[in-house]
Structure 1
Amino acid sequence: MAVNIGGLYKSHFDGWRNFFSGLGGGQDKTQQTFFKEFPILIYEDLSRLWYGDGIGKKIVSAPADDMTKNWIKIAHDDDNILMKELMRLKSKSKFNLVTKWMRLYGGGVIVMGIRDSGRLTKPVRGWPNNINIAGIDWLEVYSSADVDNINQMDIVKKTRDPLFGDIEEFRIRTKAGNSFRVHRSRCLVFKGEPSPARIDSIGFDNIYWGISALQTVYENIRTFGGVTQSIANILYEFIIGKYTIANLEELLADKKIEDIYTRLNIIDRSKSMIQAVLLGPNEKYERDTANVVGLADLMDKFMIILSAVSEIPATRLWGQSPAGENATGESDLTNYYDFIISKQESQITEPTQTLVEYINSYK
């Protein structure tokens, strides 16, 4: 609401507040919770997650595998002419790989080796409305990490251009270390999750391609990794030996630390050699076990959270349902495959249709 004070309007907002309990005031802990700045993962970070974190890799690869698993069916292709050509081009495996790179890096591109007597930097003959090509020799997959950075100057600004709002050519680096330029019409482009343009730390490259599937789950992956490492450390110390050594205070006072270590080593060696502990007068050896009650339930909770934020049910992400009442079942799998269908429609249907249209235009 706005209040007139001395001719000036001062705005304030209503809200619950309790002076005695601190609710809504400076002592209210909920008022001190803010959404902090988050790290933007660069291509090197994403590559390391792919190589070094099994959960991160599965979050990328599982939906990609499911999106391309059943591949496509072409209506009225009774003689399987189009399907045979798609098989010759190994299109299913190519689409699977580029979909993985799209989910990992935010985008990807398949360059088509089109036979039309034109250069890679020139539009396909007859493009965009009357494609006229002799064939496609090969399909080559590149991730957005293989494409030189895209900036606003690369965007086509002529409103009557069929590429308005897009770019005219990609500059691609190959595995051999060289680079080449290719016209947009010779490429099948795959873009990841849409990226908002209102964050200063996000470059235009991310805005064009989209963001990685690991970007929004990174904090959860890191937390889960910390939890599993903490549990592993607990298990390493699951059984702890307690030694009561005679005259320990005197040995410490006389700085006979080496004598203490020697005695401990003798005890450890006796355990290995004769499966027993050799003790002297007034010495005692006990074994304590760590309390791990509740660790399994704790792990389940973190597994469920990671499944939720990655939109992959526990049965698909972990290979089994977490125990307890929060276990995921058939309804979650149904929702997941609806999610897969929506991703197929929004991310791979258009490039698939383009490839089929190009094949259908062979002269």
Structure 2
Amino acid sequence: MKTIDQAKAIRNDFMIGNGKGQSKDALVRQQPGLRRKLSDGDLSNLYANNRIIQNIIDIPAEDMTRSWFTLKMKDEKLKDDIMHKLRDLNAKEAFKKMRSFERLRGDGFISLGVTQSVPFSLNESLDETKLKRLDYIHAFSGMKVSDFIINEDMFSPLFGQVELFQINRRSRMGNQIAGLSQENVHASRLIHDQTRRLEDEYRGQPLLEPLYDIITILDTSLWSVGQMLYDFAFKVYKSDGIEGMSPADKNELGMLMDFMFRTEALAIIGKDEELKKESTPVGGIKDLLDYVWEMLAGAARMPKSVIKGQEAGTITGAQYDVMNYYSRIAAQQENELRPLVERIIRLLLWSEDELGGRIDPAKVEWELKFNPLWEVDSKTDAEIRKIIAETDNIYLTNGVLMVDEIRETRFGQFGLTNVTKFSGDETDLEKMANEVYSSWKERGSNG
């Protein structure tokens, strides 16, 4: 039989588990500006226990690499060989994992497993002119890195940069660690992904640290909604016989009636007794939950629909927040992903045994172009095509283009494409609008 203390027990969730009403509870005794640092174990548990957190960590990484890129080269065979080698290396998956690790841990890495024409040590700089092969690449997180060795010589051209990473190299046999060693690895033998770093720190900041309070409230709101659903409708039994009952008898009667009223549709009571049904009020709950979601979406810089798992790469015309999200991903591709992918391609070109001989990347014309990230739904696509047709008519009317030019531009050799795609750059519609406006303005000034 339950004791009174057990009956008063409170769920040990995120908020209450930190000490309701105590100084540990940031939501009760709030002190602005205090930072919460999460250990590797905390980050692992948060990620493993919450699917929403997994979406926040993994979806942007998947979106950055999902459409991958097109390599443009005059030498088609060389281009095909490079793309084939990247597929063999499983580069797309490695870069996706690296970005996921960066978001979760603050730092993501890719190790470069190379063969050189001369003996080398991992703590030595990678000499690209001595490369023979790029054999493998492996993604791993900052958990494997115990220390960053920084150049702090202010008269060095490499001042402030990481020179060596102290890596934990382990091997396992089942649950037993068979070998454990720490080794300094030169920064040139790794690809390092880091986008959030405080000025006085060298490690990146995990994304979940500034999100922690919002995740706390989200977890508590989920539990609260569950409690309301569980107790949405409850019965009140009124009887004169209750007053003389002992606590043990009341508890036993409560369990019996709870069982009966959940399993039987008929209640038999005396003429002086009363049984009625009460419902939990839920007015205003939706606004509170929407507020939590808005805060989470704003802090994570992801639309609610994306966090909740909307189909990747497809949007409707009214989803401007999703368009902005993909534009942000496209900017991250250009500013953060491009230099890292180009490094891999340059290493392949330098490798003596990879592409038919060593090639100086500076002497080859090549360009990396990221593929479109998203496409609109069929209704929005039809509306865009209508706008394009109306714009073409304005071109013809104002003498900007001829019929043959429009036919070639819109249909070309293979006809109109099935879907309209965008990559985050200035769209064709914007370009057309600017051209039409310029033509109109010019004609007005001449008239």
Name the TM tier (shorter chain): 0.7 to 0.9
Out of 95-104 and 165-174, give the one that drifted further. 165-174
Say whether the 8 Å CA contact 1:270–1:278 is kept in structure 2. Answer: no
Say whether the 8 Å CA contact 1:89–1:138 is kept in structure 2. Answer: yes
Q: SS of 1:110's equivalent?
A: strand
The 5 A counterparts of 1:336-351 are: 336-351=325-340
Work out which of the residue numbers 203, 206, 226 in structure 2 matches 1:209: 203
The 5 A counterparts of 1:320-335 are: 329-335=318-324
Q: SS of 1:75's equivalent?
A: strand
Deviations 1:7-61 (CA, angstroms, capped at 9, x unpaired): xxxxxxxxxxxxxxxxxxxxxxxxxx97331212232222222111222221111
Say whether the 8 Å CA contact 1:188–1:355 is kept in structure 2. Answer: no
Q: SS of 1:109's equivalent?
A: strand
Query: Is residue 121 of structure 1 aligned with residue 135 of structure 2?
Result: no
Tell me: CA distance 1:265–1:299, structure 2 relative to 1, closer, same or farther (3 Å). closer
Say whether the 8 Å CA contact 2:55–2:308 is kept in structure 1. Answer: no
Q: Which amino acid aligns with 1:139?
A: I
For residue 323 of structure 1, what is the aligned residue in structure 2? none
Give the TM-score normalised by the residue count of structure 1: 0.76
Deviations 1:218-249 (CA, angstroms, capped at 9, x unpaired): 22221222222222222221112211123222
Q: Which structure 1 residue ranges, 5 or more long, are not aligned?
A: 1-32, 198-206, 321-327
CA deviation after TM superposition for structure 1 residue 310, in Å:
0.9
The CA distance in 1 between the partners of 2:86 and 2:155, in whole Å, is 33
Say whether the 8 Å CA contact 1:105–1:144 is kept in structure 2. Answer: yes
Tell me: CA distance 1:120–1:281, structure 2 relative to 1, closer, same or farther (3 Å). same
Say whether the 8 Å CA contact 1:237–1:290 is kept in structure 2. Answer: yes
Work out which of the residue numbers 220, 228, 241 in structure 2 matches 1:226: 220
CA RMSD of aligned residues (A): 2.5
The CA distance in 2 between the partners of 1:343 and 1:317, in whole Å, is 18
Say whether the 8 Å CA contact 2:55–2:309 is kept in structure 1. Answer: no
Say whether the 8 Å CA contact 1:43–1:105 is kept in structure 2. Answer: yes
CA deviation after TM superposition for structure 1 residue 318, in Å:
2.0
CA deviation after TM superposition for structure 1 residue 136, in Å:
1.0
The 5 A counterparts of 1:4-23 are: none
For residue 110 of structure 1, what is the aligned residue in structure 2? 110
The CA distance in 2 between the partners of 1:106 and 1:269, in whole Å, is 51
The CA distance in 1 between the partners of 2:234 and 2:219, in whole Å, is 25
The CA distance in 2 between the partners of 1:288 and 1:137, in whole Å, is 69
Q: SS of 2:76's equivalent?
A: coil
CA deviation after TM superposition for structure 1 residue 339, in Å:
1.2
Say whether the 8 Å CA contact 1:101–1:107 is kept in structure 2. Answer: yes
Out of 301-310 and 103-112, give the one that drifted further. 301-310
Tell me: CA distance 1:174–1:58, structure 2 relative to 1, closer, same or farther (3 Å). farther
For residue 29 of structure 1, what is the aligned residue in structure 2? none
Q: Which amino acid aligns with 1:303?
A: W
Say whether the 8 Å CA contact 1:110–1:142 is kept in structure 2. Answer: yes
For residue 40 of structure 1, what is the aligned residue in structure 2? 37
Query: Is residue 78 of structure 1 aligned with residue 76 of structure 2?
Result: yes
CA deviation after TM superposition for structure 1 residue 359, in Å:
0.6
Tell me: CA distance 1:164–1:257, structure 2 relative to 1, closer, same or farther (3 Å). closer
